[in-house]
Structure 1
Amino acid sequence: MTGQGGSAPHRPEADSPRDISAGKKTGAEIWLLGTTLVVAVAGLIYELIAATVSSYLLGDSVRQFSFVIGVFLSAMGVGAWASRYVGCAVQGFVRAQIGLGLIGGFAALVTFFSYAAVEAVALPLYGALIAVGLLSGMEIPLLARILGEIGAGRFRFENVLSVDYLGALVASLAFPLLIVPNLSLISAGLVFGLLNLAVAGGTLWLFRDRLGRAVWLAWGGSMAAVGAALIWSGPVAGALDARLYGDEIVWSERTEYQQIVVTRHRGRTRLFLDGAVQFDTRDEYRYHEALVHPAMAAAPRRTEVVVMGGGDGMAVREVLRWAPARVVLVDLDPAVTALFRDRDDLAALNDFALRDPRVEIVNADAFAWARDGGAAFDVAVLDLPDPKNLSLSRLYTAEFYRLLRGRLSAQGVAVTQAGSPVFAPDAFWIVARTMAEGWDVTPYRAYVPSFGMWGFVLARPEGMRLRQAAYPEGLRYLDAEVWAAAQVFDGDTGPRDGPVNRLSTHPLPRAYEAGWDAWFR
């Protein structure tokens, strides 16, 4: 067998395309090498879609990406080994492309449907991933055999591999920069399914005298199925979202950072990021008042305030009650801040806080913003996502808090949301201990029906007395008595020993996951 080691089963001479005419040989070689690039791009895109869907539905992006990559590469290895048992290389390659077009194209759609219907993710996702990996692993050995069999004058196996690796580069750049910002995961899978089917169609035409009607019929039916699914992918995705979230979807957008979904039902609005609820207008005031006002009341000065996270503007709304001179909102995703600044019905939820001339929006990573230095702030409000993975855990490390202290004035105060002391108490107290390296801290909690009992940690310079100035008028939840009670923890939620969260160790995500798993999995 040309192009790979070992022997191959006997293939009848009638199945070999070696007798292709000299005039077509160059064109066939160019087509097949170009095909190598295309299928390499498609294969890696399927892998990235699977990893993104997995992290979206199952959480912990680091773990899910690691699992998906390992399973996919292992399946590719099995597919490469199994390719030696394919009798006709051309027919095997075309059938592999048809299979990839169908399985890879429909994988995201089927996984989302399975999750919406029966909350099953692993079986459809990893089943499709293994199948796609097996078929993708066959592609390069089969292409190498075809190139060798047609007598390609410039054929070398390393040329095929070079084009394959170039395709991996193209896919890795295109996925975050072009595909995710412009296509839903369902649509992206179907688009690349059609691309695999286009490769199958071109190869069918090139070697049309070697392949029977059954392959043509299979290809035509697959094109029709995937094409129809792509045409209807918008309504289908909308129906799946409605089933997943239960309420009317008023906004759904996939950005390069996350999936944004806003729902509404009977005047109640909720924001979901990657499937996790961020606020519910029925009770968000309890969370945001508890997050913002104890820190603002504790600060000797409140002229310059920074809010990290909280792109929905709710925390900024509460900060503006204290009449600061300037508020800087640092949030990673410009799509979120734009949505809650520019869309009137959503901006009204934060009292149009993001349109206030005192508010400056900075779309940046909070860690990078703190590290870059600059003007000092009197109060820092950290309304950051839960530390469910290593990337988010960075924003709860001793190193991050050290950088943050450098962005605060000498009497600057900081507060962070710290998760649930009921559902993940070990994680909550890791955050408190970590902030205590360099600060005096006051842990406290509030009951928010959408989340359950929720925890916060207030930090101030060492030795500074904890004081509470009078709260602004019009608060619906927080007052002096509520604040006093908020600092009391019972035996189930009280202080626990444990490590400090550092960039080199990251015990926080493990504690967070273990706590929530114990309650809900």
Structure 2
Amino acid sequence: MNQSSKTKEVTLLFGTFLIAICGLVYELLEGTISSYLLGDSIYHFSLVIGLFMSSMGIGAWLSRFISDRLERAFVLLQMLIAILGGFSALILFYAFAYIQNYEAFLYLVTIALGTMLGVEIPLIIRILKESYSLKTNISNVFALDYIGALFAALLFPLVLVPQLGLMQTSFVFGMFNLFVGLMAWSVFRDLLGKKYLLVMLVIALLLITGLVKSNYLVSIIENKLYQHNIIYAKQTSYQKLIVTSKKGRIQFYINGAIQFDSIDEYRYHESLVHPAMLTAKSHEKVLIIGGGDGMALREVLKYEDIGSVTLVDLDPAITTLFKENNILNQLNHHAFGSNKVTVVNQDAWKFIETSQAL
């Protein structure tokens, strides 16, 4: 194998790894956005996965009709996927907020991305056919494809969503697809010419602009989604937190679902806490599972004979928010400031299994 063939092989195999990561990230993005906007995560993830996989099968079948200039087709695919994948989160959020026809856009984006991604692997195998035997070629490509998918599956929930959020993740991985196209162009530039490089530069500028402006875009769209002004928004390691306010009325949302409205939350929390407290023989030790907003804790602390209260909530961002935010801690009467209160940020089931006090 000469040096040119070796460079082509390494470039395309590394590109396969990156393509696999990008493909699964787009799939997870669409499922997550749909669950966030519409709820019913099982239905929407199943729908997205089914559409995506079947579309990849269609793409693999369609690849047979690309009979020549495979390198050109591969680079063009990367550019198209970079645009659609990079802007996919923005497209879906915009469709939900402004067009009111979210499902149609979800189907179109999923099918289009899945089809284009399905074309890629057969193209890579055919381009590499001169370097290896068919069995070695297929095993190399599919091994890297599956490893890349595993990498994406771990990266998405542990790093991407908590650190970047959905919109920024979309733009970042659009740039990864464009990077694969750039690598392929560098190997096949004698066949392609500089016009492809110019187009990729324009796409890169669009994606970078989207990335830089993503927080601004998210704020505009989220303000459209909620009735009142957003005064706090954060994507934590576990969920998306939104607090809205209008004329002193506070509403708290987790993943788009309302958790309480300050105008009437007392009805729920009083009926939740006081029957249990009046029935209990002793108030020496009280355990609250969940309730990171401190509203139930506020009601518990109204009993003067309370010895200690342990509040268990998985997400430290919520308990910290309702302890330190000057607007929100007024709603819970600064309950987290009581020396009787211990906050444990842990999964409730694990706490129950391991606690020596129960």
Q: For this structure pair, what is the TM-score category when the shorter chain's length is used for normalisation?
A: over 0.9
Quickly say closer, same or farther: Cα 1:167–1:125, change in 2 above 3 A. Answer: same
Of residues 27, 31, 40 in structure 2, which corresponds to 1:47?
27
Aligned CA distance change for structure 1 residues 74 and 352 (closer, same or farther; 3 Å): same
Partner of 2:169: 188
Distance in 1, matches of 2:107 and 2:231, equals 31
Partner amino acid for 1:356? S
Structure in which a larger fraction of residues adopt helix = 2
Is 2:130 the partner of 1:146? no
- Structure 1 residue 157: Cα displacement: 1.2
Contact 1:54–1:64 (Cα < 8 Å) also in 2: yes
Counterpart residue identity of residue 154, structure 2: L
Give the TM-score taking structure 2 as reference length. 0.94
Which aligned pairs between 1:358-507 and structure 2 lie closer than 5 A? 358-372=340-354, 374-376=356-358
Question: Aligned letter for 1:339?
Answer: L
Q: How does 1:9-20 map to 2 (within 5 A)?
A: none
Task: Quote the offset at 1:246 in angstroms.
Answer: 3.0
Residue of 29, 42, 61 corresponding to 1:62: 42
Q: Would the alpha carbon gap of residues 119 and 322 (structure 1) be closer, same or farther in structure 2, given more than 3 Å must change?
A: farther
**Any conservation in 1 of the 2:31–2:48 contact (CA below 8 Å)?**
yes
Structure 2 residue runs without a partner (length 5+): none
**1:373 Cα offset (Å):** 5.2
> Where in structure 1 are there 5+ consecutive unaligned residues?
1-20, 377-521
Greater relative contact order (CA < 8 Å, ≥ 6 in sequence): 2
Instruction: Please list, as runs of the form range in 1=range in 2, the aligned pairs for 1:279-318 lying within 5 A after superposition.
Output: 279-318=260-299
Two-structure CA RMSD over aligned residues (Å): 1.9
Mapped partners of 1:137, 1:80: distance in 2: 5
1:454 corresponding residue in structure 2: none
CA separation in 1, counterparts of 2:348 and 2:210? Answer: 40
Q: Distance in 1 between matches of 2:121 and 2:99?
A: 37
User: In 1, Cα distance between the equivalents of 2:309 and 2:278?
Assistant: 16
Is residue 262 of structure 1 aligned with residue 240 of structure 2? no
Between 343-352 and 332-341, report the one with greater CA deviation. 343-352
CA deviation after TM superposition for structure 1 residue 153, in Å: 8.3
Distance 2:133 2:48 in 1: 38
Name the residue aligned to 2:9: 29
TM-score, structure 1 normalization: 0.65
1:272, 1:25 → 2: CA distance? Answer: 55
- How far is the alpha carbon of 1:168 from its aligned partner? 0.9
- 1:156 to partner: Cα distance: 2.2
Q: Deviations over 1:61-85 (max 9, x none)?
A: 1222122111111111111111111
- Structure 1 equivalent of residue 18 of structure 2: 38
Partners of 1:164 and 1:60 in 2: how far apart?
29
In structure 1, distance between residues paired with 2:58 and 2:42:
25
2:216 to 230, 235, 250: 235
Q: Rg larger in 1 or in 2? A: 1
Measure, in 2, the Cα distance between the counterparts of 1:138 and 1:210: 20
What does the per-residue CA deviation read over 1:470-500, in whole Å, with 9 as the maximum and x for residues that have no partner?
xxxxxxxxxxxxxxxxxxxxxxxxxxxxxxx
Aligned residue pairs total 355
The answer for the alignment partner of 1:351 in structure 2 is 333
> 1:286 Cα deviation (Å)?
1.9
Q: Name the counterpart of 2:89.
A: 108
Q: What's the counterpart of residue 155 of structure 2? A: 174
SS in 2 for 1:351: coil
| Structure 1 residue corresponding to 2:100, chosen from 119, 126, 130 | 119
* Contact residue 290 and residue 312 of structure 2 kept, 8 A: yes
Displacement of 1:365 in angstroms is 2.5
Decide whether the 8 Å contact of 2:7 with 2:187 is kept in 1. Answer: no
Letter of the 2:224 counterpart = R
- Residue type of the alignment partner of 2:302: R
Q: 2:308 aligns with which of 302, 317, 326?
A: 326
Aligned counterparts of 2:20 and 2:151: Cα–Cα separation in 1: 9
Shift of 1:212: 4.5
Note the C-alpha offset of 1:243. 1.1
Write the deviation string for residues 214-259 of structure 1: whole angstroms up to 9, x where unpaired: 5344323322222211111111111111111132222111123211
Which residue matches 1:511?
A: none
Task: Work out the CA distance in 1 between the residues paired with 2:193 and 2:225.
Answer: 44
Counterpart CA distance in 1 for 2:175 and 2:58 is 25
TM superposition shift of 1:95: 1.4
